[in-house]
Chain A
């Protein structure tokens, strides 16, 4: 597993640290960490629908924020939980652009044990740092 939940931050909420050897990996790990707050078993998310997600931001860590917030939006607006096949990030004219290829299945409490509903990704202690072996992201999730 490329993420772990942090216990000593924001008592009532959930916080995670995700790692990846490159940006693509750390974004996918952070997405899984967010979705795993809501569903017990990520493997219960089936390949029933395909989606493309595009977000942009002027800061790289805020790009992560926008990306994770989009996953939370889709959870309510389309009732879908998502996994990711690939994420591409590029910088152009001072802006970061993300394009992600996702698949997912409708939320189904009868088939998949659910956990807490994610309200939002917070900006409290949000970070995305390049380390010696790749990238590390931390975020606090309001539940």
Chain B
């Protein structure tokens, strides 16, 4: 399922936006490449027009989904409306499942690549740094919240199915502990 060519594998494995652009430019011009270009443009554009370069808009939407998961019940209507907006922005209703699946995994991988930083999951105002194990557990929780958690909470599991599946698969590859933690959170 979701099989892709060697060159595309390289494209979806790369996390650096500039390097990805180079690979994208080297792809033959066809409908698939056009769709990938559309995905690229959507993902690495400064949608708020604040003059920033190489903004990973999708990564920002991941963080937004996680924040929305933590919102109180009294703001649920506003929250669900925003989640619906994000579903549209991230092409979740589109039929190019294979490309979307890999692009979502790439987004999840980029998020996970930040989960090794020194201050990630630190405690007591950064005074106590987290252990590697704590960082992995926290990363699992973050990924779950921004995918399965928010989908469940907002009642949009069907619409976010591909997103949830790709994030889960990426997480399972991240660390062996993640499967158990993810399943625990899913209960």
A binds B: no
